[in-house]
Structure 1
Amino acid sequence: MALKVGNFYVKDIVFGDKTKFSDGLLTVNKEEAIAHINPEGKLKNIELYVVHPGDSVRIAPAKAAVAVRFRPDGRCIFPGYTGAVSKCGEGIIYAMQKTAVIVSGKYSNMDNGIVDMSGPGAQYSALSQLVNLVIYAERVNEKDLELTLRVEEEHRLAAHLLAEYIGKALEGQEPEDWEIYDLETKAAEAEEKKLPRVAAFLTVVSQLEAGLNEKFAGRDCHNMAPVFIHPNEMLDGYVVAGQCEGQAMTTYDAQNLPLIRRLYKEHGKTVNFVGVILVPADVSDEVKNANKLRSGEMASLLKLDAAVIVEWGGGSNIDVDFFYNVAELESRGVKTVGITCEHAGKMTVDPRAVAIVSTGETSAILELPPMEHVIGDLESIVRDYYFGTWPTHSIYGPSLRPDGSIVINSFALSGSGNNTGWLCETVKDF
């Protein structure tokens, strides 16, 4: 089951009469693109913007981020979500690199974040290093919805549909270079060398109401049991993220996950990479214990010698799932490395967790300058729900200041937790 990824590198994006890609320039027909992402008419006031690294732009709120892909054989990019469920993780897929689709709106909720394309906030998000096509849209029934735990499927779907639409501009072209992800070919070599059998574990969010969690093959992960998947399925669109806040991974992260790519590089050299286990992070302790036992049984059946577990969306409740799974694997003799960020520490720890990699502290207080342009609604920073902003504070005052500057907790910046490993620096020193 080999996946061949053909890469095309985006240098800039402009709007024009025809959606096409040539010599690093992506041209987008704005009207056609907008029609494609709103098939049921549930969105209104839709606009598209192009933002570059270094631009004086703040995206607030950022609701989802998606990498652009195209399948020459005509299959959809996100099986079960943007089209029919189909097998993925094999064959040929084209990838636009150095770019992403981000979606924004008027109102924020707890799974949204902020992206600064320049200034001190830019160092906290890998998205600030890309040339991004940004959707702004409002929902037709926006005022009827509660603001804290709102299902924002229309926005999330729009971002994935736009990424799929743009990818079709690559049809018939020749990639600049190729990456090949072939687990099985090197497996025999790894077995012959008796290399340690290693799997990646990811604590996907399943603790919220349907529509706010990750999706697997188009289905909400709510009440899902742990599942063993081929790593190519992660890179190839089977996992759709539900969040875009500081400690969470996005769909863009899942499609490009550095951990999986690095394990592939070591496969057959230093490790025998056997696959990925998605471990749902649920609410009740009863379900958490059931899930850790099930993922532990998978580890035993796979005869794992070692594991790397990443906290997908981190902090508080999911800390418990993370350490439960680390401890369970260690108790079965599986040497386990945990990768997680911190938010003024952790909700829980376990003495069996002897190899934890901290990707940084997400509770730093940051003062960020005003931007010349805001995509979204700056008032959402004090009006709505973000992790890491506030309408007023006894020391710092409101997060939004009259001149458009903001004072926030770094948790509010999309990707600041850096559980993916994209960023060199995850916390600003004062």
Structure 2
Amino acid sequence: MRLEIDNFPVEDVVFGEETSYTDGVLTINKEEALEVVKEDEHITEADIKIARPGEKKRIVPVKEAIEPRYKGEGAVFPGVTDDVESVGHGKTIALKGCSVLAVGKHWGSFGDGLIDMSGEGAKYTYFSQLVNICLVADTDEEFERHEQQKKNHALRWAGHRLAKYIATAVKEEEAKEEDKEVFDLAPITKRPQEVNDLPSVVYVMQAQSQMEEMGYNDLVYGWDMNHVLPTLMHPNEILDGAMISGSFMPCSSKWSTYDFQNCPTIKRLYEEHGETVNFLGVIMSNLNVNLEEKERAALFVSQIASSLGADSAILAEEGYGNPDADFIECFKALEDAGVKTVGMTNECTGRDGQSQPLVTLDEAADAIVSCGNVSTLIELPPMETVIGELEALARDGLSGGWEDDDELGSSVKEDGSIVMENNSMFCGDQVLGWSPKTMKEF
């Protein structure tokens, strides 16, 4: 399967009369863009604001991030903005260096997060490096307004429609050759002998799927991952919009749609394919609540990996706590099947860093890359501008914020400074491969 992604680098975003792209500057007709947003009658008010790297801006509560994409007659986000159809092949157009952020105007949620565009906080999230097109909106979804766990359906889907609309700015343009990426992976049984002789590796992604009610979990081709058994996917499908982020997950652990679209581990495995490894593909797995479901998923993953003849696996977990049991169960099943496995996850070791990093462990899990401690306390000074509503961090049950603490008080101080756990840093731990964090030995 061959996928070509034509990238158009975005250096700045401005508003103007026509949505267009010229010499790295993306111009957005705000009125037209908001018409796309308000196609859903549940969107009651909306605005678009721009946040650039280095600006003294704080964005909260952030619910989703999407890279603007366009695919001619094909589906950009199958099962969400488009009909369900195969992706991962043909040509896709991407606006690079920017993202569309879905941001709450008045209400936050357990799975929402914060982004600082400058200062100390900027180092904690990849999205501080991008020009962010912030869709700041509210909805009339009263049934969940005062719920800590929100589906955020109208706002997240509006973000995907907006991302698709914005990318039409370059639908008639031709990308420079140096800005084109090609991802071409031959069928497993049709590869040259010299490739088959290399150590084979499969990438196992445990996407968030713990909520039994539909609407909270990650989606594959628009279908809730809670209703999916582990399955083999072509990596191009993931890079090309088949996977959509959910709304349930402490935010530093979240995999946004942008992360799926640009998964660094998949891209690195492509670089190594045919050179040092034989990249077999991706096993898309899930995260479950009860033990029997965890064991069943692990059995499926190990069976698929064994049937493919995998020598090794990279195992990535979206989350912590209860999902650690899925992570370790899968780790053990792979190792028992003779598949040498390396895990990628964050930890929950408490604010002092002294607690057990994962809620369950096993001797088989002897090679784990840590992407950070979700409980780390972060103190940040005020910002000149807040996009969204800062009060949401303390008021609405964000996973790393609180209304009051016996020692620390409220997460939001009167002067606009904040104290919070890393839990609320938007996609801060970047388990999919571009976390800047490392281990320090004492």
Q: TM-score, normalised by structure 2?
A: 0.93
Structure 2 counterparts to residues 145-294 of structure 1, below 5 A: 145-176=145-176, 177-184=179-186, 188-189=191-192, 192=195, 194-208=197-211, 209-243=213-247, 245-294=251-300
Give the superposition deviation at 1:189: 3.2
Aligned partners of 2:196 and 2:278 also within 8 Å: no
Which whole-Å deviations, capped at 9, do the CAs of 1:300-338 have from their partners, x for residues lacking one?
111111110111x21101111111111100000000010
- Report the Cα distance in structure 2 between the residues aligned to 1:295 and 1:270, rounded to whole angstroms: 23
> Which residue identity lines up with residue 19 of structure 1 in the other structure?
T
Aligned partners of 2:295 and 2:329 also within 8 Å: yes
> 1:96 matched to which residue of 2?
95
- Report the Cα distance in structure 1 between the residues aligned to 2:40 and 2:93, rounded to whole angstroms: 28
> 2:321 matched to which residue of 1?
316
Structure 2 counterparts to residues 9-408 of structure 1, below 5 A: 9-72=9-72, 74-105=73-104, 106-142=106-142, 145-176=145-176, 177-184=179-186, 188-189=191-192, 192=195, 194-208=197-211, 209-243=213-247, 245-311=251-317, 313-344=318-349, 345-408=357-420
- Report the Cα distance in structure 2 between the residues aligned to 1:426 and 1:338, rounded to whole angstroms: 15
Give the superposition deviation at 1:48: 0.2
> Which residue identity lines up with residue 201 of structure 1 in the other structure?
V
> Which residue identity lines up with residue 93 of structure 2 in the other structure?
Y
More displaced 10-residue stretch of structure 1: 371-380 or 242-251: 242-251
Give the superposition deviation at 1:143: 7.1
Structure 1's 378 and 142: CA in aligned 2 closer, same or farther, altered over 3 A? farther
Structure 1's 428 and 352: CA in aligned 2 closer, same or farther, altered over 3 A? closer
> Which residue identity lines up with residue 309 of structure 1 in the other structure?
L
Give the superposition deviation at 1:191: 5.0
Give the superposition deviation at 1:38: 2.2
* Length, aligned pairs only: 427
> 2:353 matched to which residue of 1?
none
Give the superposition deviation at 1:294: 1.0
Q: TM-score, normalised by structure 1?
A: 0.96
RMSD: 1.7
Give the superposition deviation at 1:428: 11
- Report the Cα distance in structure 2 between the residues aligned to 1:335 and 1:218, rounded to whole angstroms: 32
Give the superposition deviation at 1:159: 0.9
Stretches of structure 2 lacking an aligned partner (at least 5 in a row): 350-356
> Which residue identity lines up with residue 259 of structure 1 in the other structure?
T
